[in-house]
Structure 1
Amino acid sequence: MKKFTVSMLVISMLLMNLAVVVHANEADTVMEAAAIESQPNSAPALAPNALSAVVIDAESGTVIFEKNSHQKLPPASITKIMTMLLVMEAVDQGKLKLTDMVSTSERAASMGGSQIFLEVGEQMTVEDMLKGVAMASGNDASVALAEKIAGTEEQFVAMMNERAKQLGMKNTHFMNSNGLPVENHYSSAYDIALLSKELMKYELIRSFTGKYQDYLRKDSEKPFWLVNTNKLVRFYDGADGIKTGYTSEAKFCLSASAMRDGMRVIAVVMGAPSTKVRNAEVSQLLDYSFAQYMNYPIIKKGDVIGTLEIEKGMESKVDIVAPQNFTILVKRGSNTEQIHYVLDMDESMRAPIVEGQPIGKLMVYQGEALVKEYELLAPSTIERSSWWKLLKRSTKSLFH
């Protein structure tokens, strides 16, 4: 009888282990199902007039509602979200300074549509050009910045498409930096939401996109009054961006960002029939999100969530510090007591380790269901240690 009990226990444990393996392999399926369940099936009237729409939680990236969100459509001037992102990343990487002067080429000055009326040879700082793109949707400023960063707009477009791939924008292909109509230039509402999520991490961008009016060349003989093309920043509580777009082919497009009670939501509408409809449907998407959902904090940015042992490294261990807030999106009023996380990480890794190298995952569960998975990356580069240092470290450990 005792032997039978032990055997059943072993079988039970094996089955549990098998279930864990299957569960890990099907994580994407489980999370996809969870995302579908979270969508507002009771709200089919959201964005009824737009060709495509999506709204996401900017913290976790969770989709709250979508309608044809992966459909390839002309993005018009919301293309400039990528242009602004590449400018900010160049500044972050030290390749560009906000105070650097940008000269206006003949090509940049010749751009039609919305513009800040740059003249050939005119110079303006990166910061002012960026403001002109963010607020006035300057096609001329977009091309001038593209040429400043990459030498030519064509080379800049190659950078745009490469960055789109890195962000997981699977239904996007850019042909220019400003969104003026051209063949084979397209994106999707979901891809634009991913892009917008990345851009809105920058405080400087939020200070531009969230402002209703400002000036360029304020103290010159030719001051230029900037009025934000996104009227929601004036009329919608918490709105601070991001970018409008319109061409006769794309119709009226908008990627909007709003923040309330610490929760940022990004809503994208493409192919709306008018400005009024576009703004109303985006407002409705934002209203629904804030009313129905909230962010539940798992780990705060800066918290130590684990320690990684480094075999044969210059350092023997390194703390894994949360590079961001880790949260999940939950329905307001839902039971959060069963929410917990598990670190799926090797106890040790062998040097060398490169900064940004995947080292494990943080997996968030609600009960037994996996609801969110975050990839953990090495916080710094750890070089392989010399044999002499390893010997000293081993000798020291013998006497402690």
Structure 2
Amino acid sequence: MKPIFLILFTLLTAFLPLAQAKESYLVMEAHSNRVLLAYNSEQKRPVASLNKITSVKVVLDWVKASQANLTTLIPVPQAALALGGPNPMGLQPGDQLSIRDAIYSAMLGSDNIAMFALSQHVGQQLLIRRQIAGDPQKTFVAEMNTLSKALGMRRTKFKSSHGLEVGYWKGHSTAADIARICVHVMRDTGFGFYVKQRSRKISVVSPGGQRRSFTVQNTNKLLGQLNVNGIKTGMTAEAGQCLAINAHKSPLVKKLEDGKTQIRGRDLVVVILGSSDRFGRARQLIPQGWNAFDQWGAAGYPISESRREYLVVPQL
């Protein structure tokens, strides 16, 4: 008969592959497109509020293209209150907040209602400019999918701006595709400014004209640790714990023999989906990713012909 501790060890380890299979991750260096670590990175799955990375980028692109003012007040629609999830400001139908403050609440506080209000406003403005009738939410989500397609996110289908998995809104993506959008948005210094804030004081105007202030806290617990300067957290029952982060180090500067200077940027993108401990996993993957990058550098940054070793994100 086997000793009891061997039987228990066998039973416990039998479940480890199953538990690990629930998680996906990808670690890459953004400037070289070099994939450093990956596991189940092409597996389609819900990504919860990581949706908002793409959503807010669509909003910022619209602001730039239309020359809209970030201080413009937008209303909270009645339909937004049916979403559920975080409502850090206690928003109610008819409340108004600026586009800028709605972005802060959506990105820092993962506020679904603020995100819905943003997508409703931008969707309506797009319909007005195109002089057509339609659903503002579907119009906005179509812009999200257009952006994802342009970035090569072929295994992604967004169904909402907020990421809740309710009815029609059940979309999907992958760790690799979320890494693509992370690289893209962090090229935008404006986007990067939002997501590196630990907290932000914002305000809401009630239907009666009263203004109330609220300080929204960033849900990214790693911000400021391990060189992390963004990006977004997410969590639902179906998606599990999700995390997309950027860790920045100063560029490497090297003088070449011909007198020219070579500058190599260093930004580590880490995407974790379906985790039971996203911050703990990130604390493991960040140093492992930098170590893999340094080993590649020590070998002279050799170029591989394997497509699996690179995740190319086009410059849009």
TM over 0.5: yes
Matched with 1:198 is: 184
Which structure ranks higher in relative contact order (CA pairs < 8 Å, sequence separation ≥ 6)?
2
Please report the RMSD computed on the Cα atoms of aligned residues, expressed in angstroms.
3.0
Please state which structure has a larger fraction of its residues in strand: 1
Q: 1:124 pairs with 97, 110, 117, which one?
A: 97
1:244 equivalenced with 2:233 (yes/no): yes
1-side partners of 2:23 and 2:53: how far apart? 20
Q: 2:297 pairs with 310, 332, 335, which one?
A: 332
| Residue 51 of structure 1: how far off its partner (Å) | 1.4
For residues 115-167 of structure 1, give each alpha carbon's deviation from its aligned partner in whole angstroms, at most 9, with x where no partner exists. 23322222221111111111001101111111111121121111111221111
Matched with 1:286 is: 286
Matched with 1:229 is: 219
Secondary structure at the aligned position of 2:179 is classed as: helix
2-side partners of 1:49 and 1:168: how far apart? 25
Please state which structure has a larger fraction of its residues in helix: 2
1-side partners of 2:285 and 2:193: how far apart? 23
Q: 2:242 pairs with 238, 241, 253, which one?
A: 253
1-side partners of 2:214 and 2:112: how far apart? 15
Matched with 2:196 is: 210
Structure 2 segments unaligned to the other structure (5+ residues) = 1-16, 125-135, 252-265
Secondary structure at the aligned position of 2:279 is classed as: helix
| Residue 94 of structure 1: how far off its partner (Å) | 3.0
Q: What count of residue pairs does the alignment treat as equivalent?
A: 266
Report % sequence identity: 28
For residues 331-357 of structure 1, give each alpha carbon's deviation from its aligned partner in whole angstroms, at most 9, with x where no partner exists. 132236xx7xxxxxxxxxxxxxxxxxx
| Mapped contact 1:173–1:187 kept (Cα < 8 A) | yes
Matched with 1:111 is: 83
1-side partners of 2:300 and 2:104: how far apart? 44
Structure with bigger gyration radius = 1
Report the CA distance shift for 1:119/1:264 in structure 2 as closer, same or farther (over 3 A). same
Report the TM-score when normalising by structure 2: 0.75
Report the TM-score when normalising by structure 1: 0.60
Structure 1 segments unaligned to the other structure (5+ residues) = 1-44, 295-329, 340-364, 380-400
Matched with 1:319 is: none
2-side partners of 1:251 and 1:369: how far apart? 31
Q: 1:186 pairs with 172, 185, 209, which one?
A: 172
Matched with 1:268 is: 271
2-side partners of 1:244 and 1:114: how far apart? 13
